[in-house]
Amino acid sequence: MVARDDGPIPRIVARDERATPRTGADDVVRAIGESARSALATVNASVRELSGVGCSAPGPLDHRGGIVHEAPNIPGFVEFPLGKRLAGALGLEAIYLDRDTVMAAVGEAVAGAAKGARDFIYITISTGIGGAIVSDGRLLRGAADTAGEIGHLPVALEGPRCGCGSYGCVESLAAGRFIAEAFGVEDAALVFAAAAAHDPQAERIIDRAEKALGNLAVGLANAISPALIVVGGSIAEHEPGHTLEPMRRAITARAFKVAAAAVRVVPAALGRDVGMLGAVIYARERLAGRDEWFR
């Protein structure tokens, strides 16, 4: 995606979308480089005209060193120097790399649903589940830079094996990839449609996903006490009744009363492009020196 910084929310002027290669890290870097050049070509621009480049990636990762420690859903992304390799592929000295959920949280904080909030959690419910936590105006990173990896919070004593190697993770129960796998199809949308048609197996899978998200929401409300839980991602966008609503109901029913009274669960304001717009805003803020709160 190429964007112009014309205001609080960047304006997208070109985009190029393609499937992530499943054939290794080198092919992923090559595809990103080709995609970037293709998007630039549509507006007759070149890499040297860019003021900054932001790249959102799955974690956990080292955002300062540009290294992806492990991305279970992308083959070859284990201790992979994505920042350095992508900068080389584009002919740049450096790019700004961070977790996709951090980029989205920065975007929502600067120009979206969390604007002005000092205590909020961003959650994406899509192929996977992830998040980012802002507390007292500061992005939480943690000792290993993994704070906010809430998709791998265990919310069940039993459950399918997660891509991270654990079990009972909210991702393994409520992410699109695992919802589809549990029903034996390629797309979670088919499972939601089957549940709407009262297929018993689909209903059980969706009910389990809702309960997992409810457990996650109660845990986050009680343990972190945010003012907002901002929920984005394709599953949340298309199925708010099976994502945001179960989270709201669970918080109301089971969270501490003071925590429940303080928090609102709201949809992301930047829509399906939240990660990409967040990456542009992230790069802009870094270049302008306004990044102290999310370093």
Q: What's the rounded mean pLDDT across residues 123-140? A: 95
Residues 23 and 78 in one domain: yes
Q: What's the rounded mean pLDDT across residues 80-88? A: 95
Residues 60 and 198 in one domain: no
Residues 177 and 83 in one domain: no
pLDDT at residue number 4: 64
| Beta carbons of 228 and 264 less than 8 angstroms apart | yes
Residues 46 and 136 in one domain: no
Quick one: tokens of 150? 């809430």
Residues 177 and 58 in one domain: no
pLDDT at residue number 159: 83
Q: Examine residue 108 and state whether it is found in any structural domain, yes or no.
A: no
Residues 289 and 206 in one domain: no
Residues 121 and 250 in one domain: yes
Is the pLDDT confidence value at 72 over 90?
A: no
| Beta carbons of 159 and 173 less than 8 angstroms apart | yes
Residues 84 and 188 in one domain: no
Q: Within 10 A of 32 (CB to CB), how many other CB atoms are there?
A: 21
Q: Examine residue 90 and state whether it is found in any structural domain, yes or no.
A: yes
| Beta carbons of 237 and 267 less than 8 angstroms apart | yes
| DSSP calls for 134-190 | EETTEE---TTS-TT-GGG-B--SS-PBPTTS-BSBHHHHHSHHHHHHHHTSS-HHH
Is the pLDDT confidence value at 161 over 80?
A: yes
Is the pLDDT confidence value at 2 over 90?
A: no
Q: What's the rounded mean pLDDT across residues 79-83? A: 96
The neighbouring-strand residues paired with 14 are 2
Contacts of 120 (CB under 8 A, 6+ apart): 105, 108, 109, 114, 134, 226, 227, 228, 229, 230
Report d(CA 261, CA 24) in Å as an integer: 47
Residues 124 and 91 in one domain: no
Query: Which residue range is the domain that position 261 belongs to?
Result: 113-268
Is the pLDDT confidence value at 141 over 80?
A: yes
Q: Examine residue 104 and state whether it is found in any structural domain, yes or no.
A: no
pLDDT at residue number 51: 86
Q: Give the H or E element holding residue 89.
A: helix 82-90
The model's confidence at residue 7, banded by pLDDT at 50, 70 and 90, is: low
pLDDT single digits (tens) 44-68: 998 888 888 999 998 899 999 999 9
* Cis bond before residue 21 (omega within 30° of 0): no
Helix axes 176-183, 200-224, angle to 10 degrees: 150
Segment among 46-55, 182-191, 208-217, 244-253 with least mean pLDDT: 46-55
Q: Examine residue 196 and state whether it is found in any structural domain, yes or no.
A: yes
Q: Within 10 A of 269 (CB to CB), how many other CB atoms are there?
A: 16
| Beta carbons of 255 and 221 less than 8 angstroms apart | yes
Residues 149 and 290 in one domain: no
In the block, residue with structure tokens 């930047």: 270
Residues 179 and 255 in one domain: yes
Please report, for residues 69, 184, 214, 287, the alpha-carbon distance to residue 166 in angstroms, rounded to integers and kept in the order given: 17, 21, 20, 38
Q: Examine residue 28 and state whether it is found in any structural domain, yes or no.
A: yes
pLDDT at residue number 271: 86
pLDDT at residue number 1: 58
Q: Examine residue 186 and state whether it is found in any structural domain, yes or no.
A: yes
Report how many domains make up the chain.
Answer: 2
> What's the CATH code of the domain at 32?
3.30.420.40
Q: Examine residue 107 and state whether it is found in any structural domain, yes or no.
A: no
Q: What's the rounded mean pLDDT across residues 101-118? A: 94
pLDDT single digits (tens) 226-243: 999 999 999 999 999 999
Residues 90 and 186 in one domain: no
The model's confidence at residue 105, banded by pLDDT at 50, 70 and 90, is: very high
Quick one: tokens of 113? 């649903």
pTM confidence score: 0.91
Q: Examine residue 103 and state whether it is found in any structural domain, yes or no.
A: no
